[in-house]
Structure 1
Amino acid sequence: MIPAPLANGFCFGEGPRWFEGMLWFSDMLGEAIHTVTLDGSMTTVALPGHAPSGLGFRPDGSLLINSTQRREVLCYDGETVTTCAELAALVPADLGDMVVDSRGGAYIGSQARDGGVIVRLGPDGAATVVADDLEFPNGMVITPRGRLIVAESTARRLTSFEIDADGGLRDRRVFADGLEGPPDGITLDSDGAIWVSMTLACQFARITEGGTVTDRIDLGDRTAIACTLGGPERRVLFLLSSTDAYPQRLIGTKLSRLDTVTVAVPGAGRP
């Protein structure tokens, strides 16, 4: 599979989500959210003073945004951006990725290399730590059967939890271990496989439960950052890449890129 370029000219793309006919993603170092249509047209929502990362849409269409270093969750209603939660008292490190469930509850990772946690921000604004002892929790998805899968970057594994009726997490299991590169953003397909952005391996890989790699997309010397499935029938795999795995080295540059690949197995679950 050979990626086709769709958009460029931004600093560090993260957290891609397909919503209402557009791809939405964070420009973490560019302090902005971008949208891109399938013809490559881009618009921007500026977020001065914030380094956005994980994104998720609530059932009412409002967008939740992780402000990484401020350890806040922002809300964008299509016109204004407000702060809807402050999580600094609950988390040991900066915020990373996010996934929002069908009830509007957001699962938010705090990216400590040891002792990382996942916080659930409920629709009522109540925030609770629902998983701990994670090694740099990163990309997350929720399966149609109600399990949350999280990428643990420094552990090089994908970890699965069952979501309780009250939104808590239990029944922790390994989905895949010993990955070839630290996993960052992930997305789920309808066969239950996970497309994984493997940063230092410079590739995107499709991995089934147990760790078998069925497909690879090699990026050469570029770093795989995040991916999601969207577009018509959710068969377009959107790929965000950069020239370095460490965002701070890219401040002031515009070297990130958004590519696409059409896949046979469509997306499933959330996001």
Structure 2
Amino acid sequence: MSTQISLSSQPTLLLKNLQLVESPRWHDGQLWFSDWMAQELRTVDLTGNSELISKVSSFPFCFDWLPDGQLLVVSGREAKLLRMKTDGTLAPHIDLSGLSTHPWNEIVVDGRGNTYINNSGFNFPQAEFAPGFIVLVRPDGSVEQVADGVAFPNGMVVTPDNSTLILAESYGNCLTAFDIA
């Protein structure tokens, strides 16, 4: 089954002079994204108005929202999951440093508030490849490894019914689906 979408004959440039854009997410009428090299979390609307949300002194960093609207940010090399406070500052939420010395990467939050974060398993791009893994951070703050042996875990999504986590394995050249409880 394929879906046809209508594209305008002329694309609209929303924002330029970006460096390394990752983690695009549509939220509250705006496109949110990370610019890894600039260490910025930004938004842009469809008219090109952009706002700097936060500076994040880590590489990589990705983000998602809890069901109550709180923004979570993965500070990859610092091995921290941060939460944005109401004043816009980032505060520690969960320390991941005891789980791996390698960088943390992508994040996705399901509709129940369970947060999935993946770890590359090696110091990309300097070190030789090694398999990565995924952890689950529950709303009560407990952390558990839920998958391993994945070939450079990258983008993730949870299906709308909260039953399946889908992972892009960049070095595996595949999408892998995991049943979740």
Q: Compute the displacement of 1:98 (Å).
A: 0.9
Q: Does residue 13 of structure 2 align to residue 5 of structure 1?
A: yes
Cα separation, 2, equivalents of 1:60 and 1:99:
14
One-letter identity of the residue aligned with 2:165: L
Does 1 or 2 have the higher relative contact order (CA < 8 Å, sep 6+)? 1
Cα separation, 1, equivalents of 2:169 and 2:63:
18
Structure 1: state its 5+ residue gaps: 165-271
- Which residue number in structure 1 is paired with residue 152 of structure 2? 136
Q: Compute the displacement of 1:52 (Å).
A: 4.7
Structure 2: state its 5+ residue gaps: 1-6, 122-128
Q: TM-score, normalised by structure 1?
A: 0.57
Q: Does residue 104 of structure 2 align to residue 95 of structure 1?
A: yes
Q: Compute the displacement of 1:144 (Å).
A: 2.5
Q: Name the CA shift for 1:53/1:22 in 2 (closer, same or farther; >3 Å).
A: same
Q: Compute the displacement of 1:78 (Å).
A: 4.3
Count residues with an aligned counterpart: 164
- Which one has the bigger strand percentage? 1
Counterparts of residues 76-225 of structure 1 (less than 5 Å): 76-79=84-87, 80-91=89-100, 93-112=102-121, 113-145=129-161, 146-164=163-181
One-letter identity of the residue aligned with 2:166: I
Question: SS at the partner of 1:7?
Answer: coil
Alpha carbons 1:61, 1:77 under 8 Å: kept: no
Q: Name the CA shift for 1:94/1:130 in 2 (closer, same or farther; >3 Å).
A: same
Cα separation, 1, equivalents of 2:12 and 2:178:
34
Give identity over the alignment, percent.
37
Alpha carbons 2:107, 2:117 under 8 Å: kept: yes
Q: TM-score, normalised by structure 2?
A: 0.83
One-letter identity of the residue aligned with 1:16: P
Counterparts of residues 229-244 of structure 1 (less than 5 Å): none
